[in-house]
Structure 1
């Protein structure tokens, strides 16, 4: 059976925030590939920056009108966990502690996105992306917990690898929704940003 397509109006509004999340993940993931010998400061500030931008990107996504009202609850929790994790990372005194903080943030936010997917995948087509972002987040967090003995390069590699996977999957999704939107995407660009539901 072919996958269900989102209505053109929904696709026109959602494709851009999805691609923003993909871009954030891609920038971080590719950056970790080229870091040769990062220390603790690069680890904690790099992860903190990634979490801040990820939380902001998710917040921009969940504020869009087509997102079901009740789905915004678990997504808000995921965004908040990214932000709290970013703040906590700034106070990490060792790579071990930074790894634990990042793991908790990734697992917590990933589980929240999986809840959103489980509850709304049948009524809101873009929610199906939360299966991928949530699962990769949880697996990245578990990977950190299993390999806390690694140095900063290794820990960044685990999170960066997950970020690259998320970037690819969300890019496919975002461009797919852009294609589904067709002419509606051009109309949406003229009225960019969240809109209040019509009464």
Structure 2
């Protein structure tokens, strides 16, 4: 179960770091980097929600999050202005964040990893709102908003994924 969490962490950290180091991104760079971030995050979420320990009822809102990111990836390429790209990515992040919050709030008591969705959902909502409010900014600033959220998300997911991995490893050693 830790693999999709760690993949999502890696995707978020790579995207976040590129937003720091690419100083003058054009609109095409903005589209491609946001599209890659959204599609790989969505793919990792699809893989995560297919895992056995994830409660069946939690899969619907998490599917909605993944679908919002995938749809956002497609819609991004219909816009040629930084504002259009930023608003589209903001909408995808906001919708995905709300879906993660719903999953987290509903299942946080019976499924401990659902508490992670409270944090990732809040980061997604914050990044989405930030992109809406910053839609008049240049590409670098908008990528900075999304990348800042991605860095927060990536660090949190990496800690969570490593914790899951170590818990599973410890349980396997205890059973043996």
Identify the TM-score tier after normalising by the shorter chain: over 0.9
Once residues 184 and 17 of structure 1 are traced to their aligned partners in structure 2, the CA distance between those partners, rounded to angstroms, is: 19
Q: What secondary structure, in the 3-state scheme, does the structure 2 residue paired with 1:50 have?
A: helix
1:68-147 equivalence runs, <5 A: 68-147=55-134
1:169-184 equivalence runs, <5 A: 169-184=156-171
Once residues 57 and 178 of structure 1 are traced to their aligned partners in structure 2, the CA distance between those partners, rounded to angstroms, is: 16
1:1-199 equivalence runs, <5 A: 14-184=1-171
Once residues 92 and 174 of structure 1 are traced to their aligned partners in structure 2, the CA distance between those partners, rounded to angstroms, is: 35
Change (3 A) 1:91 1:113: same
Larger RCO, structure (CA 8 Å, separation 6 or more): 1
Paired residue total? 173
Q: Once the two structures are superposed, what CA deviation does each residue of 1:21-70 show, in whole Å capped at 9, x if it has no partner? A: 11110111111111010011011111111110010011010000110111
Which structure is larger by alpha-carbon Rg, 1 or 2?
A: 1
Q: Please list every run of 5 or more consecutive structure 1 residues that lacks an aligned counterpart in the other structure.
A: 1-13, 187-199
Change (3 A) 1:51 1:185: farther
CA RMSD of aligned residues (A): 1.2
Q: What secondary structure, in the 3-state scheme, does the structure 2 residue paired with 1:125 have?
A: coil
Runs of 4+ in 1 over 4 A off after TM superposition: 183-186
Please state which structure has a larger fraction of its residues in helix: 2
Q: Once the two structures are superposed, what CA deviation does each residue of 1:56-106 show, in whole Å capped at 9, x if it has no partner? A: 011010000110111100000000000000000011121111111011101
